[in-house]
Amino acid sequence: MKTFGILSACLLLVAPLTGLAGGNATLRADTDAGSGAIEISWSGDGALRMETGTGPGYFIVREGKAYVVMQQGGQTMVMELASMMKMAAGQVGNVPAGDTFGRVESVNATGASETVAGIEGRVYQVTWTDGDGQRHSGDVVLTDDALVAEMTEAYLGAVQAMSGADTDAYRQSLPEGERGLLRSGEDFRIESISGDEPPPGAFELPAEPMDLQKMMQGR
């Protein structure tokens, strides 16, 4: 999964919420797989489903674990991302986790406002240092809209579950009350969002997660 630059920095800064209600959103984001729409749905208990449209399947995050669901040879396959990453790390040797997202240096209000997906937010200038020690800056649009804040927290949980990054150091850096991310530079923006309840079964795993270690051993 790509480190989203300023998007990662800002997602990891958002203070945690409680009592999520659930909803759906269409995002536009640039990733390693290309640029395109991301459809996400989230539930009141923090589960999230993400369909990127650039791969063979979709992601489900539930109970703090991330899974990829795909079809191969007519069979539904469910794999836990943490197991996949652990297996990949074992194949290439011990790879230190490092400081994946770096650190945020400053978050400053510009005084400007911007409307994204029909929701008004405030523009902030963010400066951060990435995991390689390079300093960057860019603008983000934040809002106090409750639904956007819910979506951001659900997406933050998904990013954390997928990447395994420790986000605690970032959570206190945004202005009080500005917890919803509407836009991050030119790489991420909300195109639409609704508080409609996701369809039943959206967060269910369609099959038992596969034991990748046994697969590799031919068992």
CA triple 139-137-30, angle to 5 deg: 65
Domain assignment of residue 193, yes or no: yes
Domain assignment of residue 1, yes or no: no
Domain assignment of residue 145, yes or no: yes
Domain assignment of residue 129, yes or no: yes
At residue 160, φ and ψ (nearest 5 deg) are -65, -45
Q: Summarize pLDDT for 20-55 with one digit per residue, the tens.
A: 578 999 999 876 555 688 999 999 888 999 998 777
Domain holding 168, by residue range, is 6-216
At residue 51, φ and ψ (nearest 5 deg) are -120, 120
pTM higher than the cut 0.85: no
Q: Summarize pLDDT for 131-174 with one digit per residue, the tens.
A: 788 898 999 999 999 999 889 888 877 877 877 765 555 556 66
Domain assignment of residue 179, yes or no: yes
**Mean pLDDT (whole number) for 103-116:** 91
97: domain CATH number? Answer: 2.50.20
First and final CA of the chain: distance in angstroms?
29
Percent of the chain with pLDDT over 70: 72
Give the neighbor-by-neighbor strand order of the sheet with 65-72: 75-80, 65-72, 57-62, 48-51, 34-43, 22-31, 188-194, 180-184, 135-143, 119-129, 103-116
b/e sequence 180-196, b meaning 16+ C-beta within 10 Å: bbbbbbebbbbeebeee
Domain assignment of residue 86, yes or no: yes
Number of C-beta neighbours around residue 9 at 10 A: 27
d(CA 94, CA 152): 32
Domain assignment of residue 41, yes or no: yes
How many structural domains is the chain composed of?
1
DSSP annotation of 115: E
Tokens coding 189? 């923006």
Tokens coding 161? 């579950």
**Mean pLDDT (whole number) for 61-90:** 83
Domain assignment of residue 57, yes or no: yes
Q: Which residue has the higher pLDDT, 157 or 2?
A: 157
